[in-house]
């Protein structure tokens, strides 16, 4: 594993809005399942066998991925923080932990390498990807102190009117100091909705005066896939990049 990194891919979501019987991470995107693009990306940056967190009905995901990864099971959908905690044993004692969402397949390898490099070079406790969006609706916002340091991450549903005008968003790709993550994950508090949100780890680190930094990503990289329309938009992004596995609709062999 590169520089002591292991990766956790959060893939337990049901994807009810996708109007498909397939798990969201197995939906075809430009010729291959969404999660295959994430596993290919991780292999490219030196993490060939990540931990994939699946739901208790994740048999199809496991059958599709085979031995490309290690598995952890999230029996109940209790949020991203809970999903990461479910991967504790499978992640082992890696020095650094990369966390990605299984429905965010548009990150470039150079961005992930930049995140990993900055995390190690900066001796950071948490490094996260951020992006500047013209319309940040739906994303958590990066809160910065007057000196430019990160002061927190606020989810949109909890943000004030002024905070919602912030254009810098949390891209949902993280690197953690492994020992610190596992030693402090129990400090996450359950939300009113009964979930544990991974972004709370940023607030915990800041409260301990630990180092939290960001690396930039382009707006198209941070887009997730939660609806059929977003799946089509992601395919257009890959087509625009000249992805070799992408065919135009109507071409021979298109899905």
pTM: 0.91
Residue where the block lists tokens 């590169």:
2
Evaluate whether 96 touches 120 at the Cβ level (below 8 Å).
Answer: yes
CATH architecture of 2-238: Alpha-Beta Complex (3.90)
pLDDT one digit per residue (tens) for the chain, 255 residues: 456 999 999 999 776 667 677 888 999 999 999 999 999 999 999 999 999 999 987 899 999 999 999 999 999 989 999 999 999 999 999 999 999 999 999 999 999 999 999 999 999 999 999 999 999 999 999 999 999 999 999 999 889 999 999 999 999 999 999 999 999 999 999 988 899 999 999 999 999 999 999 999 999 999 989 899 999 999 999 999 887 544 433 333 332
| Token pair recorded at residue 35 | 């999660």
> Which pLDDT belongs to residue 3?
63
pLDDT score recorded for residue 252? 37
> How far apart are alpha carbons 149 and 146 in whole angstroms?
7
What are the distances in angstroms from CA 185 to CA 51, 174, 180, 210, 244? 17, 14, 8, 14, 40
One of 17, 121, 167, 236 is an active-site residue; which one? 17
pLDDT of residue 176: 98
17 is catalytic: yes
Adjacent-strand bridge partners of 99: 8, 174
| Residue 15 zone, left/alpha/beta (φ > 0; ψ -120 to 50; rest) | left
With a CB cutoff of 8 Å and minimum separation 6, the contacts of 241 are none
> pLDDT at position 2, please?
59
pLDDT of residue 20: 77
Residue 112 phi, psi (nearest 5)? -65, -40
Identify which of 170, 196, 192 has the alpha carbon closest to the alpha carbon of residue 184. 196
What per-residue confidence (pLDDT) applies to 244?
53
Give the model's pLDDT for residue 129: 98
């Amino acid at each position: 594993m590169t520089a002591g990194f292991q990766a956790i891919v959060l893939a337990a979501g049901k994807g009810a809005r996708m109007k498909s019987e397939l798990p969201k991470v197995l939906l075809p995107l430009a010729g291959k399942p969404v999660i295959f693009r994430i596993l290919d990306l991780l292999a490219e940056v030196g993490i060939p066998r990540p931990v994939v967190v699946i739901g208790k009905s994740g048999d199809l995901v496991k059958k599709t991925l085979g031995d490309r990864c290690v598995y952890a099971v999230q029996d109940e959908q209790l949020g991203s923080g809970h999903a990461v905690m479910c991967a504790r044993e499978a992640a082992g004692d890696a020095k650094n932990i990369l966390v990605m969402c299984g429905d965010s397949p548009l990150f470039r390898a150079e961005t992930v390498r930049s995140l990993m490099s900055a995390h190690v070079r900066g001796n950071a406790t948490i490094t996260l990807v951020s992006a500047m969006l013209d319309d940040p609706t739906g994303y958590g916002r990066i809160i910065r102190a007057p000196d430019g340091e990160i002061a927190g991450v606020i989810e949109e549903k909890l943000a004030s009117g002024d905070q919602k005008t912030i254009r810098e968003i949390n891209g949902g790709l993280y690197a953690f100091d492994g020992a610190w993550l596992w030693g402090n994950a129990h400090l996450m508090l359950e939300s009113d909705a009964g979930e544990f949100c991974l972004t709370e780890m940023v607030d915990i680190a800041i409260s301990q005066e630990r180092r939290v930094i960001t690396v930039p990503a382009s707006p198209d990289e941070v887009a997730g896939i939660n609806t059929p329309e977003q799946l089509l938009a992601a395919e257009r992004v890959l087509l625009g990049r000249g992805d070799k596995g992408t065919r135009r609709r109507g071409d021979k062999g298109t899905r």
